[in-house]
Amino acid sequence: MTVELLAAAVIDACEAEGIKHMLTGAFAFNLYGIPRATKDVDVVLSVESSGPMERVIARLDPVVEFNGQVQFDTLTWGRRLVGVARQKSPIKVELFELFDDPFVMSQFERRRQLFSKQINRTTWLPTAEDVIVQKLRWGRSKDLNDARDVLAVQGTETLDMAYVEGWCAKHGTATRLADALAGIPPL
C-alpha cells in the first residue's frame, strides 16, 4: 500500500464515522509548496469523546496497527495515537485529537475542502497561511524550509500576511518568519 492509498483509507474511515477531520503534515505542505516524499499520514480529528477515535482505529485495523498508547505532541501537548501500516515497508499514521489550543482551533475552523492531486481526491486541508504558521511554530530545520517554500511558491502578495504575522507574534516566531522571508531566492 502506498502512502497515498493509506491517506485515502484514513480519510474514508473518518468520513464513514462522520468525524470532522483535516489532513496535515506533508500532504498539506505538498499542496502549497514544493512537493516532497513522505512516509507518514497526519490527520487531525475533532472528537469529543474517545468513542469516535476508537471507531476510526477499528476501521483502519486491516491496514494499520495502532499500539493503543496515547502520545503527546511535545510542543502543544496535544494527544495523538500512532499506528504503523501492516505491510513490508511500514508507513506511520498519526491521528491527532483536536484540542483547545487557540491556534490549533483557528487552523481547524479555517480548513478548506480542496482537491489534492497527490491522493487524487477532495479532502479537508489547512490553508496555506496555517501551514506556514504551524511549520514556523514547530521550528525544526525541515519545517523552517517548508515554511520558506510555501511563502515562495504562494507569494506573499496572495497570502494573508497579517494573519501569519499575528500568529507569529503570539507564538514568538516572528524572527523565524523574517528569516524564512529573507531566505526566498530572488527570481
Q: At what angle do helices 174-182 and 161-171 cross, to 10 degrees?
A: 130
Domain 1-126, architecture per CATH: 2-Layer Sandwich (3.30)
pLDDT beyond 90 at 89: no
- How many residues does the structure list for the chain? 187
Q: Mean of the pLDDT values across residues 158-173?
A: 98
Examine the pLDDT at 77 and tell me if it is beyond 60. no
pLDDT > 90 fraction of the chain, expressed in percent and rounded: 73
Domain ranges within the chain, ordered by starting residue? 1-126, 127-187
pLDDT at 47: 81
Distance CA 22, CA 100 (A): 16
**Set of cell numbers at residue 89:** 515497508
CA 156, distance to chain mean position in Å, is: 21
Whether the predicted model's global pTM rises above the 0.75 cut: yes
As a whole-number percent, the residues of the chain with pLDDT over 70 amount to 94
Q: Phi first, then psi: give them for residue 7, nearest 5 degrees.
A: -60, -45
Given a cut of 90, whether residue 168 has pLDDT beyond it is yes
